[in-house]
Structure 1
């Protein structure tokens, strides 16, 4: 289960990277179209941080329960 949580963390980073790429390519064409990608990038980075902290707490709790 912990491996699945780790993969979802990196999935959020991938979404953020794709969004940042789209922001960079679309900004000079139509800045209004990039706002949705800015939103996706910010939310994805926030979710990455949240999921990482949650996974580390989960691992620590399991480690403490095993001892």
Structure 2
């Protein structure tokens, strides 16, 4: 269970990568940069979603 606490940070790494990819594509003039920014936004959302439920799960285990 200990490794699941750290997997949420993988989403932040994905977000940084896709933001970088989107900026590179904007500078090159590609039309696919929007998809990179959407995936980055989704990765940030997933980070906060996983973090919220990991904390809720830990709090529930501490009460038992």
State the number of aligned residues.
64
What are the superposed Cα offsets for residues 35-60 of structure 1, whole Å, 9 maximum, x if unpaired? Answer: 11111100000000000000000000
Which of 47-56 and 6-15 deviates more? 6-15
TM-score (normalizing by structure 2): 0.90
Higher relative contact order (CA 8 A, sep 6+): 1
Q: List structure 1 runs of 4+ shifted beyond 6 angstroms.
A: none
Which of 45-54 and 30-39 deviates more? 30-39
1:44 pairs with 2:10 = no
CA RMSD of aligned residues (A): 1.1
Partner SS for 2:20: helix
For 1:7 and 1:64, how far apart are their aligned partners in 2? Answer: 22
